[in-house]
Amino acid sequence: MVTRPTRWHPWRRPHYYRQRNSKMKLNVDGLFFQTTISDSITNKLQTPLLPPQFRGIRHLIKNNETFASKELMRVIHAAVKAELGKVGITGLMKFSNEEWIVAPPLRNQRVRSSGIIHRDVPYKSSGYLTVIILLGKTSEPGYGSIHLWQNSHLLESGRTSHYPKNFKRNHLDKCDPATIDLKKNLIIFDSRLIHQSLPHSQDVQRNALSFYITIGNRQMPSPSINLIDLESLKR
């Protein structure tokens, strides 16, 4: 028997809804959950090396065949899809925007603070998931993580960043923070949830592979701005 939680807490156990094909599926509205992807898969990834001139809090690097080949990405997509299937999320899924989220080692950082508060897509409707695979010394101090505000997909819909003055104090601080377990290397959440990266203070670079899942026939997200193409820098 399926337990239906209250509509105001979709992050605790997203509610079910019946689609036209009468198959029971999970609504991803406000979804957040963590699991683990096998080391046999993640060990095949070749993490990019951030050039020393990039000294910001974090940088987005375009994926290429050197870091994660198309064949390897298909394996990763299948593994993620299998994990989603375990919690009842099935159906047509389109994968896109494969990027590396990289934080420089502490010695190369110009400033030491958290990243900007933002959400990944501006869309008001649900059906977009952000997938982040954490790599490196996740269990050691100083790795840094993600601060994610539960239920924040209901706030300031349509805006990705540059929120109004006092927005955090008046709205975000009233949302419960998600608990990120760094022992689990796979994070999946509603792309409309507001979040920010936390400071990284290790002496090595922090790497994470990220991509989007678009469920159904919705418009796919646009590429990130300020995306670094390391191949073009070599030319």
Query: What single letter denotes the amino acid at residue 167?
Result: F
pLDDT computed for residue 235 by the predictor: 64
**Residue 78 neighbours by CB under 8 Å, 6+ apart:** none
d(CA 154, CA 156): 7
Q: Which pLDDT does position 4 carry in this prediction? A: 44
Residue extents of the structural domains in the chain:
16-233
Instruction: Tell the CATH topology of 16-233.
Output: Jelly Rolls (2.60.120)
- Count CB-CB contacts under 10 A for residue 130: 25
3-state secondary structure (DSSP) of residue 191: coil
Task: Dump pLDDT digits (tens) for 99-152.
Answer: 999 999 999 998 888 889 999 999 988 999 999 999 999 989 999 989 999 999
Residue 67 carries which DSSP code? T
Computed over every residue of the chain, the mean pLDDT equals 87
pLDDT tens string 8-65:
344 444 433 333 333 334 579 999 999 999 999 999 999 999 999 999 999 999 999 9
pLDDT given at position 225: 82
